[in-house]
Structure 1
Amino acid sequence: MALSEREQRLLDEMERGFYQSEADVMQTAPGHRRRLNYRSLVLGIIVVLVGIGVLVGGVAAQQLWLGLIGFAVMLGGVMLMFARGSEPDAEPRLPDEPKGGAHDRAGRESLSERMERRWDERMGGER
């Protein structure tokens, strides 16, 4: 079924608005995957264990201030454990894998492009 000129303009305007809002969401999304920093993870575990030791020592000595310091050290260790690296997560590539293959194009394809491609495939390329 053919669209009228007004409907076609409205559809084009809606598509432009959708693409713009998608671009805005992608730029502001905190979803950039970060690599786990194993050094911070191990160091955080060690700090948590030291904090547990100080906390138990404070309870055994019946010293409230020592227990609070142990708790603070444990909290700092947990925060250190969950600290992420600042480098974006790059997918490892095999040495013999060619660059720019079909998988790379599909990976970079946005949601709207994938949906449009699927719609075109369903409709048999008709427009």
Structure 2
Amino acid sequence: MPWRDGWLPGDKDPVGKEREKEESDVVDQQEFNRHFMVSLGLFLVHSILLILLVSMELLKHFLFEAVFFSEYFWVHVTDNKSNHHATFEAETLPSTAKPFSPFTKAGIGSHIKATDVWDQKRRT
């Protein structure tokens, strides 16, 4: 009984209707795949650009701002009684200071003696 498959005895071409429906489904699936691939490609491009931007900012922060430091250093110095902080201008750093390390925030602080710091503070 062919009418069980959606074909009634008065219809002219039940096979043609099925073929047309299958072709329409294939076209819809191809269009969906095309839109999906374009969306996925744009997402990947934006993700890569965002990762590059963040890594460049981190690189700039840790290397350029640390190596080409500003005119002031934040130096952490410890005497035996308490922690003291002092700000130095670049020209007035004590001679015991070693070069600044871009990988530590207190790169020069550990190389300065407390007496140098307090002498420096008394001079200014």
Q: Counting strand residues as a fraction of each chain, which structure ranks higher?
A: 2
TM-score after normalising by structure 1: 0.32
**Greater helix share, structure number:** 1
Larger radius of gyration: 2
Give the TM-score normalised by structure 2: 0.33
Name which structure has the greater RCO, CA cutoff 8 Å, separation 6+. Answer: 1
